[in-house]
Every structure is written in C-alpha cells, then in structure tokens.
C-alpha cells in the first residue's frame, strides 16, 4: 500500500455530531486508513491511498465544503 497523509479543511463543522458525520463520510471511501477530525481547527487529517479528490467529494456529499490545506 502506498499511503499518504493529507490535511483537509472542513467548513461547517460545529459540534461533536459533525465529527461523527465526517468520520462516517470518509470511512466509506476505499483506501482510507485513519481519520483524525479536528473540530476546533476545522480540519481532518486522513491517512489514505485513495485520491484526495475522492475524499473531498465524500465530504461535499456529506454537506461540508472541503479543500486541501
């Protein structure tokens, strides 16, 4: 596996429920190994071998604007 770690901004996270929602959205993407949602920073750090665009799309489909940080 050729894993990399990416930090993405996640706009719209406001509470612990959002953390669970972001985790669920990213967990469903093939190739995601670990997810570290940082509510206070408005970011998520993901270890993955999937394309970053797939992660961003999963977050957008879950209702969050996202981009690489």
Number of domains in the chain: 1
Does some domain include residue 50? yes
Does some domain include residue 9? no
Cα torsion angle, 61, 25, 15, 38, sign: negative
Does some domain include residue 10? no
pLDDT at 50: 87
> Which range marks the domain in which residue 50 is found?
17-68
pTM over 0.75: yes
Query: Rounded to an integer, what distance in angstroms lies between the CA atom of residue 31 and that of residue 22?
Result: 16
10-49 pLDDT, tens digit per residue, is: 999 999 999 999 999 999 999 999 999 999 999 999 999 9
Does some domain include residue 49? yes
Does some domain include residue 12? no
Query: Rounded to an integer, what distance in angstroms lies between the CA atom of residue 2 and that of residue 64?
Result: 27
38-57 pLDDT, tens digit per residue, is: 999 999 999 999 899 999 99
Find the angle CA(50)-CA(37)-CA(62) to the nearest 5 degrees.
65
Q: Decide if 46 contacts 35 (C-beta within 8 A).
A: yes
CATH code where residue 54 lies: 3.30.70.100
**SS3 label, residue 53:** helix
């Amino acid at each position: 596996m050729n894993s990399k770690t990416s930090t993405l901004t996640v706009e719209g996270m406001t509470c612990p429920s959002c953390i669970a929602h972001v985790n669920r959205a990213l967990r469903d993407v093939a190739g995601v190994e670990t997810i570290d949602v940082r509510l206070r920073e408005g970011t998520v750090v993901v270890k993955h071998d999937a394309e970053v665009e797939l992660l961003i799309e999963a977050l957008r489909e879950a209702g969050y604007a996202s981009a690489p940080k």
